[in-house]
Structure 1
Amino acid sequence: MKKLRWPLIILLILIILYQIPAPQADFFELYQRQDQAARQLREFMQRPVKTLTVDGITWRYLAGGQGAKTILFLHGMGGAYNLWWQQVAALQDRYRFITYTLPEEVDNLDKAAAGIRAILDEEKAGKIYLVGTSMGGYIAQYLLNVMPQRIEKAVLSNTFPPNKQIAVANAGKARAVKLMPEILVARLGARQLQAKLLPAAQGDSLLAAFLPSLPFSKKRFLNRYRVVVDPFFDNPGSYAARRIQKLIIEADNDPLVEPDLRARLKERYADARVFTFHNAGHFPYINRAADYNAVLEAFLASDNPYLAVEKVIYDNYAAGRRQADTVLLNQAFATQAVLNTNTAAGVVTISLADYLDKVVADGPQQLEVHILDGRVAHRMADFRVAFDYPGKRYIDNLVLLPTDRGWRIVNKTFASVK
């Protein structure tokens, strides 16, 4: 019996350890200040969250605000819907917002996208702005791939591009975490907070109180890790992706995103704006909220030149040609615009006046118009557009420049194709 006693005691201790849930601190006990951040968080936490069941998984989210545009906030691996309380407080009087908590059952990007798409439909959100950090920034990149038609702008904050590096570097740790009791995993997380995350944020007291207040479970941790390492393949250089205006926010001392991953993210989205925080760590939206909000607001309020050019092509040029409306066409073309094509006799140059006379003579037309590709850079736009008439197709290469009357076509080179 004595030989059996100690193994049984050890087994009992292990069983007890595996039943102990991870502790969750109370922010307001840890953070004694009654400052604006604390008051805003208290008010934020009093708002009722909504629930939506998607494929048997219950999603919890908060929606509110006012304005024509909707911001979808996407939190990081250890976060929840309230991670963005300071951004919501700053923006809710001008934008609608949705901020969710990724359910612990979600373990891949497809499930994440399905739930997000359902929430957007439920809230009748039209075109949206994405603001994602860390894991949320990775999910945002996936959404750029699978639902680009719903997205106008994207903020990729303290995040990383699709890669194998994270999975390779953390494979052993992931296997070990599966075997650990939840309380031990939580303790290791608390140790990382003290050793890496807080020093990178200059020991910020708000961050020190908020991060331990976030909910945690081993199942949630492991499944979110699976989301982070879930690979996907896309074409960030495609027109559908390029037309979405992007901002990359990073910190030069981010302890969770390696410098080479930050560099690869900027290479991947070479047309994105970039803002770099100095010595702000992984959570500048918390410990540098005022600065973060200013950068965010300026970007969200800025004009997207791709949308302006598309409006000229579809609403003025295409509609004008379809209706034989020279008023619309004059709103599409610069007065000095030149049109070129190639015939059996050689290159032919056509004046805008002659083109308008031809449009009037031919009258209204049945046609479909599709932008095939386009790029806006250095105050110049270069677009390739297909005009499909019954039985024939024309390809236009358009060069547009900004004028005091908006973007205008200054050169059209076109050809008939089979």
Structure 2
Amino acid sequence: MKRTYLKRIFISLIIIIIGIYLIPAPKTNFFKLYPINDHYSQSLKNFQAKPTKEVTINGIKWIYYVGGSGSKTILFIHGMGGAYNLWWQQIIKFEKSYKVISYTLPEDINSLQKTSEGILKILETEKIDKFYVVGTSMGGYIAQYLVSTIPDRIEKVVFGNTFPPNNLIAKENKTKSKLLPFLPEIVISKLGEKTLDKKIIPAAKNSKLLKAFLVSLPFSKKQFINRYNIVIDKFTMSPTKYNIKRIPKLIIESDNDPLIQPQLQQQLKKLYKNASVYTFHNEGHFPYINAPKEYNEILWQFFNTENAFTAVEKTIENYFEGRKDANLKQLQLAFSKKANLYTSQNNNILIIPIENYYKKVRLNGVQQAKTSILNGDITGNIANFKTNFEYPKKSYTDYLTLLKTDKGWEIISKTFTKTN
């Protein structure tokens, strides 16, 4: 009798455990949690009424939004718990002047490579070559991966409230990550709500808007685990490579971010030494939601600031094409009237006035050559660039010094040597 009773209790406990395990995370509605009919709720309602698009990559359906019709495109990448509409306040602002894209990462995606494949397919579908990127948290990490893998397609990038490639996150969450697959979805959801109430919302000045929105975001255990795997997925970043260095970068951070350790914030700024940095004060991890006006203004200024590297490259391109085509007018657009050329001849310094260089170009005529920028640095109004001319039977390396004048960037000196 006792054995039968214990067996029934055991079976009951198993049923209860299975029942708890199968209980999905509760779904909530933003407009019920945030019944205030203000600008924020009305703008979100209008935005969510707009149609989205679908594209299938390797059997996985991606949902994304595309709007606007500007000549430049901004790709918005959400964080670990987000979706495409996380950026509604930025999209509404920027689609008036830009083409904008925002997607929802499918729950089956669990690596940076698979994420990149989906993004590239969306860009291909929308016939977009070069673009700006704004990524936050996990999205900022994905943005860094895109910079490392397709730098020539990215014109500007924003790393918002994010972290660099690191071992710290995986190390600190080693035990938790092993337990996650065995926890019921509802338990993971409740733990997330606890973090929300104790850390995230207080850091954002107890924003009711932020709380209602975050709680209403779609959530599943599978999504959470796979997105965590993306966060700890490793890749190598080489920020000193020219095609990466030349991309203007903006780091947005908060001085009280409860989800990004100060150590990782410092590592991010150390990795991207040439990046601009904007620090929010007491706005937490989601300033683009609870401080949208300030956030949008920062983005606007960044996107509308000239890329100094692009400006210098235009001058160097005039030098390249002018020399190859023996086009003196184009060369004169590149060089200052006071420029000199320097090289070594018989172990002595040889100084060539710019007019003598023009005479030699006129004499030698059109040349077949492959040209390239090998590296470059810009500090204020000074630039130093290393370039290469590869002719059929010889090659030259140039070190160019440029100054920014009222006419734009001008080459004031060229030091060159034969390298082959």
Query: Normalized against structure 2, the TM-score is what?
Result: 0.98
Amino acid at match of 1:379: N
Q: Which residue is 1:118 aligned to?
A: 121
CA distance in 2, matches of 1:79, 1:206: 15
CA distance in 2, matches of 1:47, 1:25: 20
CA distance in 2, matches of 1:369, 1:24: 58
Q: Which residue is 1:353 aligned to?
A: 355
Q: Which residue is 2:78 aligned to?
A: 75
How far is 1:338 from its partner? 1.1
Q: Which residue is 2:400 aligned to?
A: 398
SS at match of 2:284: coil
Q: Which residue is 1:334 aligned to?
A: 336
Q: Which residue is 1:149 aligned to?
A: 152
CA distance in 2, matches of 1:377, 1:310: 15
Matched, 1:22 2:21: no
Moved more, 142-151 or 169-178: 169-178
SS at match of 1:214: coil
Moved more, 189-198 or 12-21: 12-21
Amino acid at match of 1:247: L
Moved more, 112-121 or 132-141: 112-121
1:174-216 deviation per Cα after TM superposition (whole angstroms, max 9, x unaligned) = 1222111101110111111100000000101110110001000
CA distance in 2, matches of 1:252, 1:354: 57
Contact 1:339–1:411 (8 Å) recurs in 2:
yes
Match of 1:275 among 269, 274, 278: 278
Amino acid at match of 1:205: K
Amino acid at match of 1:157: G
SS at match of 1:104: coil
Q: Which residue is 1:133 aligned to?
A: 136
How far is 1:23 from its partner? 1.3
Contact 1:251–1:281 (8 Å) recurs in 2:
yes
Q: Which residue is 1:202 aligned to?
A: 205
Q: Which residue is 2:39 aligned to?
A: 36
CA distance in 1, matches of 2:140, 2:206: 24
Q: How many matched pairs?
A: 417
Amino acid at match of 1:405: K
Match of 1:179 among 152, 177, 182: 182
SS at match of 2:113: helix
CA distance in 1, matches of 2:324, 2:25: 64
How far is 1:279 from its partner? 0.4
Q: Which residue is 1:364 aligned to?
A: 366
Q: Which residue is 2:375 aligned to?
A: 373
SS at match of 2:339: strand
Show structure 2 runs of 5+ residues with no match. none
Contact 1:77–1:224 (8 Å) recurs in 2:
yes
Q: Which residue is 1:260 aligned to?
A: 263
CA distance in 2, matches of 1:304, 1:14: 58
CA distance in 2, matches of 1:185, 1:207: 20
Matches within 5 A, 1:211-222: 211-222=214-225
Q: Which residue is 2:226 aligned to?
A: 223
Moved over 4 A (4+): none
SS at match of 1:290: helix
CA distance in 1, matches of 2:371, 2:186: 59
How far is 1:126 from its partner? 2.1
Q: Which residue is 1:293 aligned to?
A: 296
Amino acid at match of 1:280: E
1:16-41 deviation per Cα after TM superposition (whole angstroms, max 9, x unaligned) = 11221111211111112222221111
Show structure 1 runs of 5+ residues with no match. none
Match of 1:188 among 191, 194, 199: 191
How far is 1:341 from its partner? 0.8
Q: Which residue is 1:102 aligned to?
A: 105
Contact 1:70–1:126 (8 Å) recurs in 2:
no
1:249-283 deviation per Cα after TM superposition (whole angstroms, max 9, x unaligned) = 00000000000110110000010000000000000
How far is 1:345 from its partner? 5.5
SS at match of 1:281: coil
CA distance in 1, matches of 2:67, 2:262: 36
Percentage of identical aligned residues: 48
Q: Which residue is 2:387 aligned to?
A: 385
1:221-244 deviation per Cα after TM superposition (whole angstroms, max 9, x unaligned) = 000000000111121111111000
CA distance in 1, matches of 2:397, 2:32: 66
How far is 1:398 from its partner? 0.4
CA distance in 1, matches of 2:379, 2:122: 34
Amino acid at match of 2:383: A
Amino acid at match of 1:194: D
RMSD (Å), alpha carbons: 0.9
Contact 1:341–1:414 (8 Å) recurs in 2:
yes
Matched, 1:245 2:278: no
Amino acid at match of 2:160: S
SS at match of 1:43: helix
SS at match of 2:173: helix
How far is 1:9 from its partner? 0.8
1:137-173 deviation per Cα after TM superposition (whole angstroms, max 9, x unaligned) = 0010011100001001000000000000000001111
1:93-120 deviation per Cα after TM superposition (whole angstroms, max 9, x unaligned) = 1110110111111111111111111111
Match of 1:4 among 4, 7, 30: 7
